[in-house]
Amino acid sequence: MRGITRRTVLTVTAGAVTAPAVSTATAAAADATTAASEGPQAAWRPDPVLRTDLVTRVTPRNNWLVTAVAIQYAHHIDLRGGAVPAAAFQVQATVGGRTAPRTVTRVYSNTTAAVDDRPDPGRPGDHLIVELDPNDSDARAAGTDPFPLDRAYSVRQVADVRAPGGGPVLRSGPFASRNNGIITPVVDDFAAGSFTDSAGFDLNFRLYQPEGFVRDSRTRARYPLVLTLHGGGEVADNNMTQLTANRIAVTFAKPERQRRNPAFVLSPQIPLPRPMDGPDGTDWTDAKVQSALIELVDTFVSEHSRNVDTDRLYVVGLSSGGRGIYSLLAKRPEMFAAALPTAGWGDVAAMERITHIPMWADHSVDDPVVPYREGRFGKPGTWTLMSALESAGARVSRGEWGNDLPKAQFEARSRELLRQARAARSHVLFTSYTPGTTPVSPHFAWAQTYENDVVIDWLFEQSR
């Protein structure tokens, strides 16, 4: 990977490989000619597979999962209104030296190598999408680092697929195909880069650029910048898990959010070996890391001064990233328009310097990793920091509810808290999650934070 100097932020994009197209008419004519010349045996010839790809997804609670296999054929597939039985395909995954079957949940044709989330999915096309159960024990795509998944999956068709009239559409055969590549929607749209600060310290990062800027880099349109600070579990050298370990960055780059709020999304990653020179032994407060982070943001904004809206810089983060937010805001209180710190901790003395900054914090009351009141490494948790903000003069609007509420109810509670905050002229909001309600682990308070459209809409409304 090429380094990025202080003077130039260089982004790297990956090209796509496209298989040659075969028209329906041409394929049909070829099939008919071959069938006539070869006789009855031609009916059982395997259908040509051009490539097979894994389709993965970053999920709110289970991290990065392989959720489908996309098979591209040399011809158009038209099921004529019929359905493909899940039992027609068998999928096996070899991960960590262990081979196990994956559960096929539904199969349908499509025009691209993409999952169709509609209740009645699919359309005629040259791809067949084999969806997999995300709850399978071998569904994970990464631990601390991404798993080596190239050719790790095999797919075999074990039964013919027929149209409602009885004619074969896809024939089964003895051969299995293995995945050529891995497709991760949204994540694949982040360019990979690195930044070397004035002291020679390197930070890897991923960058999402809004579509309008990509189409015309000479545009004078100005976009917000969202800076994401990952948690301690994503400290690594892979320049990937800050995107795939949770949905903090993906949330702001997904198409539906970019249509509403086009923005740059900058996601740096702390390298190994872990820097631990910070005042409380954390990573984003490490002097080297924080200095490089601030310089990265300053350089990016300077290099893109025509297109970054400097009145709408936002910082979001979880766990160790939440700790980084409180420290960064106190160091640069004039830089950011708003912040979303989740399950963080910080310095009480710093709160008086950031009373003016709009903030929506959240934390699980029963968090055992970063205790809600006591925090970590002798620095208090979110409840204590919010009380310190109040003592320093900020109005804090507080609410508590379950972190396992359905999305509609969860957002309704957030909407009511926001209504109360506006009535009280409060720009600091604090959501606590009732003990026993945060899925997977009480520390994972962010399970719904970045799925919450009320919170994200509020963030983009803020301006310095």
Q: What is the number of other CB atoms lying within 10 angstroms of the CB of residue 169?
A: 17
The mean per-residue pLDDT over the stretch 289-303 comes to: 97
Residue owning tokens 């999962």:
65
- Is residue 45's pLDDT more than 60? no
Percent of the chain scored above 90 by pLDDT?
80
How far apart are the C-alpha atoms of 53 and 303, rounded to whole Å? 37
- pLDDT tier at 448, thresholds 50, 70, 90: very high
- Is residue 210's pLDDT more than 70? yes
Q: What is the pLDDT of residue 294?
A: 98
- Is residue 5's pLDDT more than 60? no
231-274 confidence digits (pLDDT tens):
999 999 999 999 999 999 999 999 999 999 999 999 999 999 88
Alpha-carbon torsion 365, 368, 374, 377, what sign? negative
Average pLDDT taken over every residue of the chain: 89
390-435 confidence digits (pLDDT tens):
999 999 999 999 999 999 999 999 999 999 999 999 999 999 999 9
Q: What is the number of other CB atoms lying within 10 angstroms of the CB of residue 46?
A: 12
How far apart are the C-alpha atoms of 140 and 63, rounded to whole Å? 8
User: Tokens representing 260?
Assistant: 């509403």
If one compares 184 and 14, the residue with the highest pLDDT of the two is 184
Q: What is the pLDDT of residue 39?
A: 38
109-140 confidence digits (pLDDT tens):
999 999 999 988 989 999 999 999 999 999 99
Q: Is 132 exposed, middle or buried (0-12, 13-18, 19+ CB in 10 A)?
A: buried
Q: E strands within 34-139?
A: 49-59, 63-77, 89-95, 98-102, 104-110, 125-132
Q: What is the pLDDT of residue 46?
A: 58
How far apart are the C-alpha atoms of 334 and 346, rounded to whole Å? 19
Collapsing DSSP to helix, strand or coil, 184 comes out as coil
Using alpha carbons, select from 28, 37, 36, 71 the residue that is nearest to residue 175. 71
Q: What is the pLDDT of residue 279?
A: 73
Q: Is 15 exposed, middle or buried (0-12, 13-18, 19+ CB in 10 A)?
A: exposed
